[in-house]
C-alpha cells in the first residue's frame, strides 16, 4: 500500500497514455499495415500487441527492470508513430488529419512521460521497503551523447527486424536476424538496465550511495555524521584529496555531502582497487531538490 500511494502522478499518466495507445498510435499502425499482405500484417500486429501488453504490465510492476523496459519501448513507440503516419499517408492519401495528430500526440506524450525523472524515481522506489526512499542518479554525460542512443537502437532493431523479415518470407535472413537480434537485444537491455540501478537510498540511519559506475560497493553516509548536504559550490576543486567526485561528468545541479568524520570508499577504476578516505562526496541525482527535501524531512542538515 505504501509503495502504491507514493506513485507519482507522472506514472499514472504514463499508464493511462499506454492504455489508450491502441486507439492512438495503434490506429495509425493499423492503417499502415493495410498496405501489407494479410500474413505480414498478422505477424507484425501480433508483435505490437505483445509488446504493448508487456510494457503496460511493466508500468504496474514498479521495479528497475520495468523502468528499463518502459524507457526502451516508449521512445520506440514514438518512432513507430512517425513511421506509421508516413506509411499510412502514402497508402491512403485521404488519411484523416485527426488520426495522424492523435497518433503523434500519443506517441510524443508517452515517450516524454516515460523519460521524466519523476517517473523514474516512482518506478525504482517500488523496490524500497519500510522507511526507505530510493531516487535515481543522473547518467554520465559521455554516455548520454552517444552510447545510450546507440544501445537503445540495437535493442529496438534487434526486436523489430526479425518480425519484419519473417513477415516478408525472407526465411534465411529472418532466421539469422532472429538469433543476432535477440542476442543484441539481450545485451542492450542488460547494459541499459545498469543505469536504472544507480540511486541514492534514504534509510533510517542516513543515506546510501549505490553507483556501480563510480564505486565498487555502495557506501553509507550516516545521518549523525553528515555535517551538511546541499548544492555544490561553483569552482570546487575536483582533485582535492578529501573529495570524491561520483557524478561521472553528469550535467545539471550537483549535490555535495560533507561528513564530520572520514568515509572510506573504493572508486571504480581499472587495475587494483584501492580504498580512499574522504570527507566530502559529490553526486548527481536526477531531482536534487527532491533529495534535499527528503533529507530535511529526515533531519539531515541541509
Q: What is the 3-state secondary structure (H, E, C) of 37-65?
A: CHHHHHHHHHHHHHHHHHHHHHHHHCCHH
61 within domain boundaries: yes
50 within domain boundaries: yes
Examine the domain organization and report whether 114 and 150 are in the same domain.
Answer: no
Looking at 60-159, which runs of residues are DSSP E strands? 133-136
Element (H, E) at 244: strand 243-245
Q: Which of 126, 149, 178 finishes a domain?
A: 126
Examine the domain organization and report whether 159 and 112 are in the same domain.
Answer: no
Q: What is the dihedral of CA 84, 90, 92, 98, to 10 degrees?
A: 50
* Amino acid 134: pLDDT: 94
Give the number of other CB atoms < 10 A from CB of residue 209.
Answer: 23
pTM: predicted TM-score of the whole model, two decimal places: 0.86
Examine the domain organization and report whether 213 and 266 are in the same domain.
Answer: yes
Q: Which of 179, 197, 215 finishes a domain?
A: 197
Examine the domain organization and report whether 1 and 101 are in the same domain.
Answer: yes
* Amino acid 214: pLDDT: 87
Examine the domain organization and report whether 10 and 106 are in the same domain.
Answer: yes
Question: Where does the pLDDT of residue 255 fall: very low under 50, low under 70, confident under 90, or very high at 90 and above?
Answer: very high
Backbone angles phi, psi at 42, to 5 degrees: -70, -40
Examine the domain organization and report whether 88 and 5 are in the same domain.
Answer: yes
236 within domain boundaries: yes
**Structural domains counted in the chain:** 3
* Amino acid 3: pLDDT: 44
15-67 pLDDT tens trace: 999 998 888 777 666 666 665 667 666 777 787 888 889 999 999 988 999 99
Can you tell me which residue has the cell 554516455? 143
The range of the structural domain enclosing residue 63 comes to: 1-126
Examine the domain organization and report whether 193 and 218 are in the same domain.
Answer: no
Q: Which of 147, 164, 197 finishes a domain?
A: 197
Q: Cell numbers at residue 74, please?
A: 516508449
- Burial-class residue 193 by CB neighbours within 10 Å (0-12, 13-18, 19+): middle
302 within domain boundaries: no
77 within domain boundaries: yes
Amino acid at each position: 500500500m505504501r509503495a502504491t500511494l507514493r506513485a507519482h502522478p507522472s506514472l499514472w499518466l504514463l499508464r493511462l497514455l499506454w492504455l489508450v495507445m491502441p486507439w492512438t498510435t495503434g490506429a495509425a499502425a493499423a492503417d499502415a499495415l493495410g498496405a501489407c499482405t494479410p500474413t505480414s500484417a498478422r505477424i507484425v500486429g501480433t508483435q505490437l500487441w505483445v509488446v504493448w501488453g508487456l510494457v503496460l504490465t511493466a508500468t504496474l510492476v514498479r521495479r528497475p527492470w520495468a523502468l528499463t523496459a518502459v524507457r526502451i519501448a516508449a521512445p520506440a513507440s514514438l518512432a513507430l508513430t512517425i513511421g506509421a503516419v508516413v506509411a499510412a499517408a502514402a497508402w491512403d492519401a485521404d488519411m484523416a488529419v485527426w488520426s495522424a495528430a492523435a497518433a503523434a500526440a500519443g506517441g510524443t506524450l508517452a515517450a516524454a512521460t516515460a523519460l521524466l525523472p519523476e517517473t523514474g524515481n516512482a518506478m525504482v522506489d517500488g523496490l524500497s521497503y519500510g522507511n526507505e526512499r530510493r531516487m535515481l542518479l543522473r547518467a554520465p554525460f559521455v554516455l548520454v551523447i552517444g552510447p545510450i542512443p546507440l544501445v537503445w537502437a540495437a535493442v529496438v532493431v534487434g526486436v523489430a527486424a526479425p518480425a519484419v523479415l519473417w513477415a516478408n518470407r525472407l526465411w534465411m535472413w529472418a532466421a539469422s536476424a532472429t538469433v543476432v537480434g535477440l542476442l543484441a537485444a539481450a545485451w542492450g537491455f542488460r547494459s541499459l538496465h545498469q543505469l536504472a540501478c544507480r540511486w541514492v537510498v534514504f534509510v533510517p540511519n542516513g543515506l546510501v550511495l549505490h553507483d556501480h559506475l563510480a564505486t565498487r560497493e555502495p557506501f553509507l553516509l550516516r545521518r549523525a555524521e553528515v555535517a551538511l548536504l546541499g548544492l555544490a559550490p561553483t569552482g570546487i576543486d575536483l582533485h582535492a584529496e578529501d573529495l570524491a567526485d561520483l557524478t561521472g561528468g553528469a550535467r545539471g545541479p550537483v549535490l555535495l555531502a560533507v561528513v564530520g568524520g572520514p568515509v572510506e570508499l573504493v572508486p571504480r577504476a581499472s587495475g587494483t582497487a584501492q580504498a580512499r578516505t574522504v570527507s566530502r562526496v559529490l553526486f548527481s541525482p536526477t531531482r536534487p531538490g527532491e533529495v534535499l527535501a527528503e533529507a530535511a524531512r529526515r533531519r539531515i542538515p541541509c
